[in-house]
Amino acid sequence: MIQYDHHLKVYYKDIDQMGIVYYSRYLEYFEEARTELLASIGLDVTSVEKNGIQLPVITSHCDYHRGAELEQNLIIRTIIYELPKAKLRIDYQVFTKENTEQIILTGYTIHAFLNINGRPVRPPANILDKIKKQMNEY
């Protein structure tokens, strides 16, 4: 298991008429958080793409438990439970810094590995190695 906590703050831009974060914004938060998770184990987007690999999202899922509000400090907890076989699944839990017991949202994204021609490929060895190494250390 690899776990990473990404911190961010809710601003006006994120909030809708009901006074809570608009439902699509969490997918942006997910992207920020998984970018930092992957960068933390040496898999920053730019260098992955330089190796001719893209990791497009093929599935996204969110369960909204309660609304996040203006100026709340959120933690986007990002988890890789398993070494990817064909696809990489990343799980997310969102809660406030002040109350880590109260889940705001849970979700996941599933990513394919595509080569430079847009064809699905098996996860490259150097990516697997970095994930495996981190899983052992955790």
Binding site for a second copy (CB under 8 A): 9, 11-13, 15-19, 22-25, 27-28, 31-32, 35, 44-46, 54, 56-64, 67, 70-71
Burial 94-117 (b: 16+ CB within 10 A, else e): bbbeeeeeeebbbbbbebbbbeee
Name the residue nearer to a second copy (CB basis): 22 or 128.
22
Name the residue nearer to a second copy (CB basis): 32 or 91.
32
Name the residue nearer to a second copy (CB basis): 27 or 121.
27
In this structure, the number of other CB atoms found within 10 A of the CB of residue 121 comes to: 14
- The distance of closest approach from Cβ of residue 45 to a second copy in the complex, given in angstroms and rounded to an integer, is 6
Identify the DSSP state of 42.
Answer: T
- The distance of closest approach from Cβ of residue 48 to a second copy in the complex, given in angstroms and rounded to an integer, is 11
- The distance of closest approach from Cβ of residue 136 to a second copy in the complex, given in angstroms and rounded to an integer, is 27
Q: Are 10 and 72 in contact (CB under 8 A)?
A: yes
Q: Which residues neighbour 122 within 8 Å (Cβ) at sequence distance 6 or greater?
A: 86, 113
